[in-house]
Structure 1
Amino acid sequence: MKSVWITAGALAAAMAMTPACAQAQTQDNPVEQGVKAWQSGDYKGAVDRWRGPAVAGDADAQFNLGQAYKLGRGVTADLNQAEDWYRRAAVQGHVQAQDNYGLTLFQNGKRTQAVEWLKRSSSRGEPRAQFVLGTMYFNGDGIDRDWVRAYALIVRSSQSGLPQASAALAQMDRYISLQDRQQGLTLARRYEEEQGRPQPPVQFADNTPPKPQPKPQTKPDAKPRPAQVAIADKPVVKPAPPKPAPPKPAVVRDGGWKVQVGAFGDPGNARKLWGQLAGRFPGRQVYYVKAGNLTRVLVGPYASRAEASGACASVKPCVPVGP
């Protein structure tokens, strides 16, 4: 059975994407004093200020100590110590600590214990947790193997911009059947709907009418959330993508390859989808192919698998179909 493995480098890169420390809101609070020391490069001074409140039960200070031990700043790097301090803050409801606790349990080889916390983080839309949990489902690593659920989680993580998830998705595409990928994409859409996102993935192999999306509502927090201060490298700001150039006429070669962009029980829905996507496939034609009770929406022709895969780059879901 094929497996997709998370290398130490990939996991470390994913976990390092959001290193932040929690800051108290009163100027004379030792937690904030520690944050200021950290920002000035006095890591040991920061740790010394956080340790007392952490031992006394302050969740922000506990989380910050976990970060210090994970990064090895002000103290010797120690994932076991990081795990312990994350745990203390996590059980008090500290969301960032819960996210890092599940990831650190996984990194420390405690797969079964990690599952509960990774599921919590994944349900909140945390892409690192979705990446790790999806890979566990694919490999049957600490949890029962479930390729449909694995594909759904990795798709969601990849769509959040996590590059490690996109690389894992490319590996999974080589082993997971088209039917399981269709079901995984449908499940990913359902996850997005349950989370209340305004733009879930495009409907695929699903015959039920889309549910109306609830309008976002703003609810005041019972208590103001503490500000978050980055304690590692500054976040990378991605430049805006350049405007696409007008498409140039190209010679269409037929190598027997097409791409599938949907499958519907109602043929009218298949035609409606093509009406929305036709502009993304200049020079190609649509094929409505019956497959049992479904009408598959195929677009082509393409000369090769590589050309078909390239056509899928800007459309999700989209699956190359060979001759």
Structure 2
Amino acid sequence: MTVPIFSAFLIALAAPAAPPAPAGDVAKGIAAWQAGEHGRAIALWAPLAEAGDRDALFNLGQAYRLGRGVQRDAARAATLFERAARQGHTGARTNLGLMLYGEGRRAEGLRWLRGAADAGEPRAMLVYGTALFNGEPLTRDMVTGYALVSRAAAKDLAPARTTLAEMDKLLSVDARREGVALAQALASGERELAEVLSPPAEVAVAPSAEPRPAPKPAAPAATPAPSRKTVEAPRPATTAKPASKPAATTSGAYAVQLGAFSRGGAAQSLYDRVKDMPALAGKSPAYVEGGGVTRLRITGFASMASAERACAALEARGQACYALKP
């Protein structure tokens, strides 16, 4: 059971459900959006979202998340995503889970990502699978974690392929074979994630617990003891080690994280591949070491909004990205 993010939403759940909105009207909004007519798209989606149409809720949430046609409002986007996610919208579950995860509310975000991972969403499978593999904050299940990341990699998600290669170094041949077999069974529908995981409390925090706030630089969250069997999922920064040849940077305390690697050279290689992307122009790499891995972060963003815009641009190019608060 998930923890409600917005208590006011419980009141909305108690209201009678409105009849489903015509799918054609949602499609008209999508056509307008693709034509660059963001305001018209929002005008079409807004009444449908108010009526409870999950696709309109998701699309309107995207508009608020990206700040297109409306002023950017992450809280409003999260509310809309949650309403759609509660109706089983896989994209909304993924976006909401990733937003919470990026804010440091990892256990809460993973609760949403589990449903999306069960539905086969590649980004959700990557993050949830990595958390299972690491055993934080989930109960460790390295084989199932490997299976989920394998499925994400099979869907051509580039960061999943990179993470899978790191996992290959840490698992025995037999364990990898077991993971591949499980991935195939999950993909075919022969098995379901719910029956594989330990019910009902695979999240190592009580469901009623308050979400953990993102750690502040002055008092960083405790780092788990180093383990050779850990491939870290993205999480908030502790201390950063600048690259030997940093690019010219603009001032700003916000950052984005692109990946975590057991070899520092892999982090440098990823930066070499993405450093010329326009979204990272004028920003500097930082290599954060801890827990036996090196995390690649790009620093110098003036606001959370600018960091999330950069992530949106990178994600459109197939690169996983998480915006981080200072």
TM-score range, shorter-chain basis? 0.3 to 0.5
Q: TM-score, normalised by structure 2?
A: 0.46
Q: TM-score by structure 1 length?
A: 0.47
State which structure, 1 or 2, has the greater radius of gyration over its C-alpha atoms: 1
